[in-house]
Amino acid sequence: MANQGVNDPIHEPVNTGRRRFLTATTAVVGAVGAGVAAVPFIKSWNPSARAKLAGAPVTADITALQEGERLVLEWRGQPIWIVKRSKAILEALPTLDSHLRDPMSENPEQQPAYVLEQDPELRSIKPEVSVLVGLCTHLGCSPEMKAEIRPEPFDPEWKGGYFCPCHKSRFDMAGRVFEGVPAPTNLVVPPHYYENDTTIVIGVDPQGAA
Protein backbone atom coordinates (compact mmCIF):
# COMPACT_ATOMS: atom_id res chain seq x y z
CA MET A 1 0.00 0.00 0.00
CA ALA A 2 1.24 3.51 -0.78
CA ASN A 3 2.61 5.79 1.91
CA GLN A 4 0.09 8.39 2.92
CA GLY A 5 1.61 10.43 5.73
CA VAL A 6 1.80 14.20 5.83
CA ASN A 7 3.77 16.44 8.16
CA ASP A 8 1.44 18.11 10.55
CA PRO A 9 2.08 21.25 12.53
CA ILE A 10 -1.66 21.90 12.28
CA HIS A 11 -4.73 19.86 13.05
CA GLU A 12 -6.22 19.50 9.61
CA PRO A 13 -4.79 16.05 8.72
CA VAL A 14 -6.08 14.65 12.00
CA ASN A 15 -9.51 16.13 11.43
CA THR A 16 -9.45 14.72 7.93
CA GLY A 17 -8.84 11.28 9.37
CA ARG A 18 -11.64 11.75 11.82
CA ARG A 19 -13.98 12.87 9.04
CA ARG A 20 -13.05 9.84 6.94
CA PHE A 21 -13.68 7.69 9.97
CA LEU A 22 -17.18 9.14 10.32
CA THR A 23 -17.81 8.81 6.58
CA ALA A 24 -16.76 5.16 6.62
CA THR A 25 -19.02 4.51 9.60
CA THR A 26 -21.92 6.15 7.81
CA ALA A 27 -21.22 4.11 4.67
CA VAL A 28 -21.34 0.85 6.60
CA VAL A 29 -24.60 1.79 8.31
CA GLY A 30 -26.05 2.78 4.92
CA ALA A 31 -25.10 -0.58 3.38
CA VAL A 32 -26.73 -2.47 6.23
CA GLY A 33 -29.88 -0.35 5.90
CA ALA A 34 -30.10 -1.13 2.18
CA GLY A 35 -30.15 -4.86 2.95
CA VAL A 36 -30.10 -7.32 0.04
CA ALA A 37 -30.08 -4.57 -2.56
CA ALA A 38 -26.60 -3.56 -1.40
CA VAL A 39 -24.97 -6.94 -2.17
CA PRO A 40 -24.28 -6.45 -5.93
CA PHE A 41 -22.78 -3.05 -5.15
CA ILE A 42 -20.49 -4.49 -2.46
CA LYS A 43 -19.35 -7.21 -4.89
CA SER A 44 -18.29 -4.51 -7.31
CA TRP A 45 -15.91 -2.84 -4.84
CA ASN A 46 -12.31 -3.07 -5.90
CA PRO A 47 -9.95 -5.18 -3.76
CA SER A 48 -8.11 -2.22 -2.26
CA ALA A 49 -11.37 -0.67 -0.98
CA ARG A 50 -12.35 -3.98 0.61
CA ALA A 51 -8.89 -4.40 2.12
CA LYS A 52 -8.97 -0.89 3.54
CA LEU A 53 -12.32 -1.44 5.19
CA ALA A 54 -11.04 -4.70 6.65
CA GLY A 55 -8.07 -2.92 8.18
CA ALA A 56 -5.17 -3.77 5.89
CA PRO A 57 -1.75 -2.68 7.21
CA VAL A 58 -0.48 0.79 6.32
CA THR A 59 3.18 1.62 5.69
CA ALA A 60 4.87 4.87 6.73
CA ASP A 61 8.23 6.22 5.61
CA ILE A 62 9.69 8.26 8.48
CA THR A 63 12.95 9.22 6.73
CA ALA A 64 12.10 12.93 6.67
CA LEU A 65 10.48 13.09 10.11
CA GLN A 66 12.27 15.66 12.28
CA GLU A 67 12.25 16.07 16.06
CA GLY A 68 8.99 17.61 17.24
CA GLU A 69 7.16 16.70 14.03
CA ARG A 70 4.21 14.41 13.57
CA LEU A 71 3.28 12.24 10.63
CA VAL A 72 -0.45 11.55 10.37
CA LEU A 73 -1.91 8.63 8.46
CA GLU A 74 -5.06 6.60 8.54
CA TRP A 75 -5.53 2.99 9.57
CA ARG A 76 -8.90 1.31 10.04
CA GLY A 77 -10.54 4.73 9.74
CA GLN A 78 -8.56 6.10 12.66
CA PRO A 79 -5.86 8.77 12.67
CA ILE A 80 -2.44 7.31 13.46
CA TRP A 81 0.24 9.64 14.77
CA ILE A 82 3.94 8.98 14.39
CA VAL A 83 5.91 11.53 16.40
CA LYS A 84 9.66 12.01 16.71
CA ARG A 85 10.51 12.93 20.30
CA SER A 86 13.54 14.97 21.33
CA LYS A 87 16.00 13.99 24.08
CA ALA A 88 14.51 16.71 26.30
CA ILE A 89 11.02 15.23 25.87
CA LEU A 90 12.29 11.72 26.66
CA GLU A 91 14.01 12.97 29.80
CA ALA A 92 10.86 14.80 30.91
CA LEU A 93 8.56 11.77 30.64
CA PRO A 94 9.62 9.96 33.86
CA THR A 95 9.28 13.20 35.85
CA LEU A 96 5.52 13.18 35.11
CA ASP A 97 4.73 9.77 36.59
CA SER A 98 3.24 11.02 39.86
CA HIS A 99 0.70 13.12 37.90
CA LEU A 100 -0.51 10.26 35.71
CA ARG A 101 -3.31 7.72 36.07
CA ASP A 102 -1.44 4.74 34.58
CA PRO A 103 2.24 5.74 34.31
CA MET A 104 3.50 2.18 33.71
CA SER A 105 0.74 1.33 31.21
CA GLU A 106 -0.64 -1.51 33.27
CA ASN A 107 -3.93 -1.52 31.36
CA PRO A 108 -3.15 -4.12 28.67
CA GLU A 109 -6.00 -2.92 26.44
CA GLN A 110 -4.17 0.29 25.57
CA GLN A 111 -1.00 -1.04 23.94
CA PRO A 112 0.73 -4.24 22.78
CA ALA A 113 3.14 -5.68 25.36
CA TYR A 114 6.23 -5.27 23.17
CA VAL A 115 6.14 -1.46 23.35
CA LEU A 116 6.66 -1.71 27.12
CA GLU A 117 9.66 -4.04 26.99
CA GLN A 118 12.35 -1.42 26.63
CA ASP A 119 10.82 1.25 28.88
CA PRO A 120 7.15 1.31 29.95
CA GLU A 121 7.31 5.07 30.45
CA LEU A 122 8.07 5.59 26.74
CA ARG A 123 5.52 3.13 25.26
CA SER A 124 7.46 2.67 22.02
CA ILE A 125 9.70 0.24 20.16
CA LYS A 126 12.33 2.93 19.50
CA PRO A 127 12.66 5.51 22.27
CA GLU A 128 12.44 8.55 20.02
CA VAL A 129 9.53 7.41 17.83
CA SER A 130 6.05 7.31 19.35
CA VAL A 131 3.16 5.67 17.47
CA LEU A 132 -0.35 6.37 18.75
CA VAL A 133 -3.99 6.22 17.70
CA GLY A 134 -4.90 9.92 17.74
CA LEU A 135 -8.29 9.62 19.40
CA CYS A 136 -9.04 10.75 22.95
CA THR A 137 -10.14 7.90 25.21
CA HIS A 138 -12.95 10.02 26.63
CA LEU A 139 -15.36 10.59 23.72
CA GLY A 140 -13.09 10.07 20.74
CA CYS A 141 -12.12 13.61 19.76
CA SER A 142 -8.70 14.07 18.22
CA PRO A 143 -6.50 15.97 20.72
CA GLU A 144 -4.19 18.82 19.73
CA MET A 145 -0.45 18.22 19.83
CA LYS A 146 1.35 20.64 22.15
CA ALA A 147 4.82 19.20 21.76
CA GLU A 148 6.92 21.98 23.26
CA ILE A 149 8.07 22.14 26.85
CA ARG A 150 6.68 25.49 27.91
CA PRO A 151 3.93 26.89 30.14
CA GLU A 152 0.47 26.47 28.61
CA PRO A 153 -2.76 28.12 29.79
CA PHE A 154 -4.02 24.71 30.92
CA ASP A 155 -0.75 23.73 32.67
CA PRO A 156 2.04 26.13 33.70
CA GLU A 157 4.41 23.15 34.14
CA TRP A 158 3.68 21.62 30.72
CA LYS A 159 6.33 19.16 29.48
CA GLY A 160 4.83 18.58 26.04
CA GLY A 161 1.93 16.31 25.15
CA TYR A 162 -1.61 16.29 23.79
CA PHE A 163 -4.54 18.42 24.88
CA CYS A 164 -8.18 17.67 24.10
CA PRO A 165 -9.95 21.05 24.21
CA CYS A 166 -13.53 19.72 24.35
CA HIS A 167 -13.30 18.44 27.95
CA LYS A 168 -9.68 19.29 28.71
CA SER A 169 -8.13 15.83 28.89
CA ARG A 170 -4.34 15.89 28.84
CA PHE A 171 -1.83 13.25 27.77
CA ASP A 172 1.96 13.33 27.81
CA MET A 173 4.24 12.69 24.83
CA ALA A 174 3.89 8.94 25.39
CA GLY A 175 0.08 9.23 25.28
CA ARG A 176 -0.22 8.65 29.05
CA VAL A 177 -3.28 10.28 30.56
CA PHE A 178 -3.05 12.74 33.44
CA GLU A 179 -4.96 12.33 36.70
CA GLY A 180 -8.10 14.42 37.18
CA VAL A 181 -9.25 14.60 33.55
CA PRO A 182 -12.29 12.93 31.93
CA ALA A 183 -10.29 10.53 29.71
CA PRO A 184 -10.08 7.24 31.65
CA THR A 185 -7.11 5.58 29.97
CA ASN A 186 -3.90 6.20 28.07
CA LEU A 187 -4.07 6.71 24.30
CA VAL A 188 -3.94 3.48 22.34
CA VAL A 189 -0.68 2.31 20.76
CA PRO A 190 -1.60 0.34 17.60
CA PRO A 191 0.18 -2.88 16.59
CA HIS A 192 3.20 -2.01 14.46
CA TYR A 193 6.70 -3.08 13.51
CA TYR A 194 9.76 -1.73 11.72
CA GLU A 195 10.21 -3.15 8.23
CA ASN A 196 13.58 -1.37 8.19
CA ASP A 197 15.15 1.54 10.05
CA THR A 198 12.86 4.15 8.51
CA THR A 199 9.76 2.18 7.51
CA ILE A 200 6.98 1.40 9.97
CA VAL A 201 4.11 -0.95 9.19
CA ILE A 202 0.94 -0.13 11.15
CA GLY A 203 -1.50 -2.94 11.86
CA VAL A 204 0.91 -5.87 12.21
CA ASP A 205 2.86 -7.04 15.26
CA PRO A 206 6.61 -7.67 15.00
CA GLN A 207 7.49 -11.24 14.13
CA GLY A 208 7.53 -13.37 17.23
CA ALA A 209 5.56 -10.90 19.36
CA ALA A 210 3.32 -12.60 21.91
Q: How far is the CB of 76 from ligand FES (least distance, A)?
A: 19
78 binds ligand FES (CB under 6 A): no
141 binds ligand FES (CB under 6 A): yes
166 binds ligand FES (CB under 6 A): yes
Q: How many CB atoms lie within 10 A of CB 69?
A: 16
Stretch that binds ligand FES, among 10-18, 60-68, 79-87, 163-171 (CB under 6 A): 163-171
Residue of 182, 199, 205, 206 that binds ligand FES (CB under 6 A): 182
183 binds ligand FES (CB under 6 A): yes
DSSP annotation of 102 reads: S
38 binds ligand FES (CB under 6 A): no
Residue of 139, 154, 157, 180 that binds ligand FES (CB under 6 A): 139
Distances (CA, A) of 28 to 15, 25, 32, 76, 139: 20, 5, 6, 13, 21
Half-sphere exposure of 171 (CA within 13 A, CB side): 32
Q: How far is the CB of 142 from ligand FES (least distance, A)?
A: 9
87 binds ligand FES (CB under 6 A): no
Strand order in the sheet with 129-133: 6-7, 70-75, 78-84, 129-133
Q: Which of residues 43-72 bind ligand FES (CB under 6 A)?
A: none
DSSP annotation of 177 reads: B
Cα end-to-end span (Å), the chain: 25
